[in-house]
Amino acid sequence: MSSGKGEILPRSLMDIYGSLRDFFIYLDEGRQVVVGICAMNIIWENLAEIRSLCVEEEYRKRGIGKKLVEACISEAITLQLFRIFTLTNRPDFFAQLGFKEVAMSTLSEKIWSDCFRCSKYPDYCDEVAMIIEL
């Protein structure tokens, strides 16, 4: 899995190691290989983000992405975080899970914590902001 196709934003090794405990993985037990990943990041006292969702192409359309997102949502609920958002280039997928499109400006915590450091922000951002409130 890589960011080479532009499906997920590249992250530095320092950032990956710093957020390693945030990730859920999906393992193909037969081949002993990770085929899917997804992270849940706490942004604020009442807000979490689902990020870095990626499933290997040959494993897509099998419900793995859905299971990974559901694991993140379950973790957020356990932590009493009932507003969960994502920035995605796959809005149809997240809409099927109950996420609704919102204006990026409603996520000021995210913009100030991460977006302003992104090379695509603000003029070239190709992601859709979506949120689910539980």
Q: How many domains does the chain have?
A: 1
Cα distance between residue 47 and residue 63, in whole Å:
25
Cα distance between residue 26 and residue 97, in whole Å:
18
| In a domain? residue 31 | yes
CA distances 9 to 1, 28, 65, 79, 134, Å, are 12, 24, 17, 26, 27
pLDDT tens, residue by residue, 64-106:
999 999 999 999 999 899 999 999 989 999 999 999 999 988 8
β-bridge mates for residue 36, sequence order: 26, 55
| In a domain? residue 65 | yes
- 4 or 89, greater pLDDT: 89
Domain that holds residue 19: 13-133
Domain containing residue 58: CATH number: 3.40.630.30
| In a domain? residue 8 | no
| In a domain? residue 4 | no
Is residue 133 within 8 A of residue 99, CB to CB? The reply is no
Give pTM, 2 decimals. 0.79
Identify the pLDDT of residue 110: 63
